[in-house]
């Protein structure tokens, strides 16, 4: 899936990153999900967390299991979005939190792995 444009990145620590994302109304992630009232699918949110976690934190993740995601708010086209990622190297996991205007939209944890 086409990742959003990363506008800025802050690094509170070596294993944490906060990225401000640009999510335009015409982003392909919204295509067909749902016509008339598009929302950002959970599978896309998880995919972006994994790929940006590897890109920004060097997780080395090529496979993932044990997805845990909680949704609190719907993410719609044009919403300002902030993504916080935390890599727990000891537990081989990546946690994420999407925020809109300071409010939590979704949170999750992913067990990281690699393909044989």
Tens digit of each residue's pLDDT (9 = 90 or more) over 14-51? 999 999 999 888 888 888 878 788 999 999 999 999 99
Q: Is the pLDDT of residue 71 over 90?
A: yes
Residue 115 pLDDT exceeds 60? no
Structural domain harbouring 109: 5-113
- What is the CA 36 to chain-centroid distance, rounded? 24
Judged against a pLDDT cut of 80, whether residue 61 lies above it is answered with: yes
Domain count, the chain: 1
Q: Are 48 and 99 in contact (CB under 8 A)?
A: no
For the cut 60, the answer to whether the pLDDT of residue 116 exceeds it is no
- CATH code of residue 19: 3.10.129.10
- State how far the Cα of 22 lies from the Cα of 20, in Å rounded to an integer: 7
Q: Would you place residue 77 in the very low, low, confident or very high pLDDT band (cuts 50, 70, 90)? A: confident
């Amino acid at each position: 899936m086409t990742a959003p444009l990363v506008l800025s990145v802050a690094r509170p620590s070596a294993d944490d990153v906060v990225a401000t994302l640009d999510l335009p109304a015409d982003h392909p992630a919204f295509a067909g999900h749902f016509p008339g009232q598009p929302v950002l699918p959970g599978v896309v949110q998880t995919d972006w967390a994994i790929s940006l976690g590897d890109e920004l934190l060097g997780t080395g993740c090529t496979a993932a299991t044990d997805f845990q995601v909680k949704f609190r708010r719907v993410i719609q086209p044009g919403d300002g979005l902030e993504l916080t990622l935390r890599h727990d190297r000891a537990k081989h996991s990546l946690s994420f939190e999407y925020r809109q205007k300071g409010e939590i939209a979704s949170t999750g944890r992913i067990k990281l792995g690699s393909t044989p």
